[in-house]
Amino acid sequence: MNHTHKNINEIKSWLTDNSEKVKLDISNSKCNKWENWLEDKATHIYPCVCSNREQNCIFIETYYQLDRVIQLHQKKEYFKILVQEYKQISSDKIALSEWFNKNKKLASELAFDTEISIMLELEPYKTSKIKLNENEFKNIIELQNIFNELEYNQIINS
């Protein structure tokens, strides 16, 4: 299992350097799910289930995961505003409930982890890990913690 640490600028330049290669690999890949993703970046991609993963599929998934990280990072100011909104109303149950319902869809899309795992082999199970700099994602992490807490409280109190 190999670990690499990446910051936002490294990720951005890697994505730029590999933007043509990824298109080429996608057009040559047997996994047609990637074609859909290229056309519509909002498409949800399911984890690869190929028992024997091709190198280009591993590369494409790495690109996809890092691209997703950059998309989230670009919304950091928006996430910061949401955290501030939350802090202003955190003691008001009704306002909090309205805020949560308004942002529920975002909460479900915000699956974020500072460690990205890319499956290399199914059996024996092998992954490659990319560690992100937590400081660059503190707004997302804070917002995710708020959502998790609110969801947990909703389950407990319902």
Q: What is the pLDDT at residue 22?
A: 94
- Whose tokens are 């994602």? That residue is 137
Of the CA atoms within 13 Å of residue 103, those in its CB half-sphere come to: 22
DSSP alpha helices (H): ranges in the chain? 8-17, 19-28, 33-39, 55-73, 76-89, 93-102, 104-109, 138-157
Question: What is the edge-to-edge ordering of all strands in the sheet holding 115-121?
Answer: 2-6, 126-132, 115-121
For residues 48 and 73, is the Cβ–Cβ distance under 8 A?
no
pTM of the model: 0.83
pLDDT of residue 1: 42
Q: Give the pLDDT of residue 43.
A: 67
In whole angstroms, give the CA distance from residue 85 to residue 78. 11
What distance in Å separates the CA atoms of residue 19 and residue 69, rounded to the nearest whole number? 15
Per-10-residue mean pLDDT of the chain, 158 residues long, equals: 76 95 88 79 70 82 92 94 95 92 87 89 85 93 92 70
Report the C-alpha gap between 68 and 157 in whole angstroms.
34
